[in-house]
Amino acid sequence: MSSQKPNVSAVLITLNAAAHLSECLAGLKWCDEIVVLDGGSTDATEKICREFGARVHTELRWQGFGVQKNRAVALASSEWVFSVDADEICGPELRAEIERALADAGNTVAFEMPRSSSFCGHWMRHGGWWPDYVTRLFRRGSARFSDDVVHERLIVEGVTQRLQEPLLHYTYDTMAQALEKQDRYSTLGAQKAFEQGQRATPFSALTHGLWTFLRTYFLRLGLLDGRAGWMLANYNARTTYLRYLKLWRLGQTRR
């Protein structure tokens, strides 16, 4: 076991992310540095970041989540990088597990952890939202984010281990917020699918939406989350329907 504590850089990208930012940054105070790449926030995001001693950089050339996260990682200086979203919280249990894991990492270059997500005030335990493993902690230079506009993934070169303690995620606080993001993310998803050569029809939009509801509510046991599970299944179904419908419209307008 190494006697020297590994250095960790917490890395975030932000844009008008003040809602849960203070709690997020408070959970990262144990890191050796906090690096924030902001996309031009007009709320209190930058002020909150500086109050917690974060190094704040600004990048207005938005090219998608993957590209922006890679830009942020490039600003980090520590051996290990902990990539966290501004609505995610690293609790004391996860912090302790991370410190133990890094002290005896060996040839491991990345760690994945379960993510526990809240949907409109309810912590989901089913419907595909738990345990929702995400790889967020990695040795600098051993991983990079894909260049996807949305739903980026971390591409790791080497051994990945799994942690047990969850990263907490405040996905949507209200249905109004959920619907706003639904419109934006379904548009980005449609653009990404179109660029990959996918096409759709109104009928395929309907069938994909229906299948998403059945999978979320029945196959993934969303029904066990009660009213919140019903809401989530409908939300996921509508998101999928809109994404395929917008994909169809892209095909119509660019034909």
Cβ atoms of 21 and 54 closer than 8 Å: no
- Percent pLDDT > 70 in the chain is 99
Query: Rounded to an integer, what distance in angstroms lies between the CA atom of residue 252 and that of residue 32?
Result: 51
CA 221 from chain center: how many Å? 23
Give the C-alpha separation, 201 to 213, whole Å. Answer: 19
Q: What is the pLDDT of residues 95-137, one digit of tens each?
A: 999 999 999 999 999 999 999 999 999 999 999 999 999 999 9
10 Å Cβ neighbour count for 251? 15
Strands (E), the chain: 8-14, 33-38, 55-58, 80-83, 88-89, 108-113, 115-119, 122-123, 134-139, 143-145, 154-156, 159-162, 167-172
- Six token digits for residue 166: 């969850």
Task: Tell me if residue 70 falls in helix, strand or coil.
Answer: helix
Q: Going by C-beta distance under 8 Å and a sequence separation of 6 or more, which residues neighbour residue 234?
A: 213
87 Cβ neighbours under 8 A, 6+ residues apart: 17, 19, 20, 24, 169, 170, 171
pLDDT for 77 beyond 50: yes
Alpha-carbon distance 41 to 46, whole Å? 7
Over residues 22-63, the pLDDT tens digits come to 999 999 999 999 999 999 999 999 999 999 999 999 999 999
The one-letter amino acid code at 41 reads S
Model confidence at 255, in pLDDT bands (50, 70, 90)?
A: confident
3 pLDDT above the threshold of 70: no
* pTM (two decimals): 0.94
A 10 A CB-CB count for 246 gives 21
